[in-house]
Structure 1
């Protein structure tokens, strides 16, 4: 496979993608839904082959859950695309307009980034989401999924790419990379790839960052916390803990550590243990937790672990400040929750916790592009560049400065007789 040829075609396609009308893009998305539904049996058969091989290779249970792509998941992916169609086209929006002088106007207009390279884990639904988001935002995309999902990814990429081209998208708007060496080659193609989004472990993201000069939108581990404050409603706290941990464990927004204020610990921990164990959750606890309920002792490593399984660590803390300090030390900056009835304490938590998503009295599982109303997400960014948290359409946009004049020259605005700039904000579109 000639990766540079694929990237070159993708780069050429990106120029055309950036200028597509909303109508063509939405028609392409509708056709992709139709193609996924028409080819559902073929997709499921390919996925069954991947699952069978993954079991032979003893793939971990959480990854097997992510790998499965059956009829309900395909339908859910189609629903995500349908919601994306309803969203406003993010391309060509006037972000600001400024009069520099009479007849000289400066516009800041949203534009696609270009070619997005996305390397993701064993979730075929991620391929569908990413391709749809890039299409709607006018970007071309290079995709590399996990090798364990190779058969599923191949048919999905083929079906989606063809459905797009059949409705007016340029050839090569979607490219699929298949091997680790393909990724290493892509990392060297800074002339063709504008942004890389790796979805995986901290080590994996660090490897990508260390081996490319292409900008990287890092999605690190999802070490999410739920803190039960001393002013929390006990039932709400237990319910949210169970939902945050158990609703779906094999995802980055599932809670891995529960922090409990010592004032509530004796009352709430026995109830929390009962509810979690009823769901099959294994609990590791700090020394104070172990003094109240019978659990295995937590180690330093537990506070740093993204389990992606029915496992949780619990720590009793003496104060809100200590809870925040623990999160800032061990968290990955993904999603962190406080359960409290006190607004001031909730605001302190949000203001002082270094996290992309700070939630008050709701499950960590809400941290998701679809649930945020972004249509879907290309990933969740835990770093601090142009996009943070769930990255939807806006996170795949950049902007272009556009100036309109009438023969204006810089020489008239310099020297002793220089004309002044007005720099007046305008309420007008380009």
Structure 2
């Protein structure tokens, strides 16, 4: 449920617009490529988490199998990219839930962040319980929306969008933003029963369900209004159902609920990766504290909530998708490389799968929009500079006894 809550979130209500602008009528091909890359990455994450069920996901595994610098690159990409995604999810929720002045929407977004962070603070059981409710509501809304798309006039008069192989690859990189929720499952290795069995199963099932749902939604949207109208829309599913009376409310409620589900799972995953990095002094050690009663990284949860609340006041919802994809694709490229280094007795899938995953991640990173690539490179440069010159990432010297 946490994996579904992360993947079936606000991405499905927003990502088809920029993806259609890049790929045109080949949007479905871009979606299938994104699903293939997601599958490779999911298998790498599952294999790593089953052998070493610890908080931190690819950050912890990158440190173990590739070295501290590789681990930091994975963790930094995840924390920075997903912190920005948290702000995007909060803003999406507020935009759909409260049509009105921008200041009221920003205020509601901050309240949503603080409320869900407070719930995460109480423990993973409560997080999973609310996620079940939000996922079920999101799926019900998507089912009604898909039916509404097929009840409309169709895309007979819709035009096309010029595209190329580069455009299809770019759309795959953007669509990957909507798939990258299974990482939250891999970061919870210390908080689930029988993680060696539970985590691989949860990742595989969640990704499989999500791929089917996205294919149905994407094909239906193209049939309803065509690639040209999707490409020009900031709310593509609302555009795809505009010809059916009464569905505007369903789209708004569905998007708001899905955004809350994604935000809830994102905050949980970012907090736990932050804790793992703090344990290794790649982030301030204060963030590694675990609550004695609720067994959650409460300092990291509070820090994430504060940073996301600040970002909500300045974030641009339209630009964050590409930036988030950059960080997460780097994260999964390192996960695939780490899986390649595992010994035979820990390997569940062929090495060729992880070679394909790492290569595909690298290709999708460089084909993202130029602004997203430049921003991502700049953020990584800042992260490594701070790590080097502030002395983080270095363990304190032990005093001889």
Give TM class, smaller chain. under 0.3
**Which has the larger strand fraction?**
1
TM-score (norm 1): 0.25
TM-score (norm 2): 0.26
